[in-house]
Amino acid sequence: MSLNDTDHAPAGAVVHPWRRYVAVGDSFTEGIGDPEPGLPDGHRGWADRVAEVLSQQVDDFAYANLAVRGKLITQIVGDQIEPALALKPDLVSFSAGGNDVIRPGSDPDAVADQFEDAVVRLRRDGATVVVFTGIDTRFTPVFRNIRGKVAIYNENIRAIADRQDCIVADMWSLKEVQDMRFFDQDRLHPNPLGHHEIARMVLRALNVPNDLQPMQPDPLPATTWREARGSDLVWARSHLVPWVLRRLRHESSGDLIKAKRPEPLPIVTLAPGQDAASGRGDGV
């Protein structure tokens, strides 16, 4: 039976088999770009959104998110894989290597070697593992020049998924988010609309029925060439220059950040306007 976004399973049917989901990765999985002040680290993201849907369909569901912004694949593998395995998940999402690929001089084949080693470890106890391709960067001037490198990375990911029996969440084919209106002001991370569409795509990949509907962004306002250049300068000063300086200093935006959800916990749905961190609000 094939289920799409709006299909519902028959009464009494097993909607999905997973009871413990652990998310592993960097800022993409942490949820940067999708602010939610009521949550422990102030971010929601696609992984939280997926966990919310999964939790509504089975009993005794628990979710952990070990992802930390700014991490390279070596750091993700070294810091998150064993803690993830210790939580005994039956579902793992693994997105890593994006921060490596966008760096000048990086080798997507070297990234793939580390990626596959990590996947083998994550699969050792039979967990379902979801891996991600990189987004097609043709639509964004900032990263258009690395499109070929992203394509190599993606082919490696697909080959690893085939060998290791993983599910592929295909960001490259997700044309809905190849539009700057689905991205945060930093032009790197999805905004709430983007994270919502990515969650819908992941649920499709998992073949999980859900009620999440497509969301349309507002039309782009008309701008002059001068206004556009001014916006580029603001972006460079606010986001590009700090990124470059961190690279020169061998620093990361995640150096002082801890995982927002290090233990698998139930999803708690609270009343609107309440605080999730203290048990007084919406969230996970």
Ordered structural domains, the chain, with CATH: 20-213+258-265 (3.40.50.1110)
Q: Residue 216 has what pLDDT? A: 74
- Reference 24, options 64, 61, 62; nearest CA is 64
Taking only the tens place, the pLDDT of each residue in 230-256 is: 554 554 455 444 545 555 555 555 556
* pLDDT score at 128: 98
Phi, psi for 270 (deg, rounded to 5)? -115, 175
Q: Which of helix, strand or coil describes residue 92?
A: strand
d(CA 264, CA 61): 9
Q: Residue 279's pLDDT is what?
A: 33
From 17-26, 36-45, 67-76, 109-118, the region with the lowest mean pLDDT: 36-45
Alpha-carbon span 202 to 166, nearest angstrom: 13
Question: For 246, which DSSP code?
Answer: H
Please state the pTM of the whole predicted model: 0.82
Left (φ > 0), alpha (ψ -120 to 50) or beta: where does 232 sit? alpha
Mean pLDDT (whole number) for 151-176: 97
pLDDT surpasses 80 at 163? yes
pLDDT at position 274: 43
Spatial separation of the C-alpha atoms in residues 181 and 187, rounded to whole Å: 10
Q: Show the tokens assigned to 211.
A: 């009620």
Q: Looking at residue 196, what is its pLDDT? A: 97
pLDDT at 199 exceeding the cut of 50: yes
**Is pLDDT at 107 greater than 90 in this prediction?**
yes
- DSSP label of 63: E
Helix (H, G, I), strand (E, B) or coil at 23: strand
Over the chain, what is the mean pLDDT? 83
Q: Please tell me the predicted confidence (pLDDT) of residue 221.
A: 60
275: pLDDT confidence band, cut at 50, 70 and 90? very low
Q: State the pLDDT at residue 148.
A: 96
Residue with token string 């250049």 = 229
Q: pLDDT at position 217, please?
A: 65
Sorting pLDDT into bands at 50, 70 and 90, what band is 185?
Answer: confident
- Give 35 or 239, the one with higher predicted confidence: 35
Per DSSP, 239 falls in state: I
Mean pLDDT over residues 84-112, rounded? Answer: 96
Is the predicted pLDDT of residue 55 greater than 80, yes or no? yes
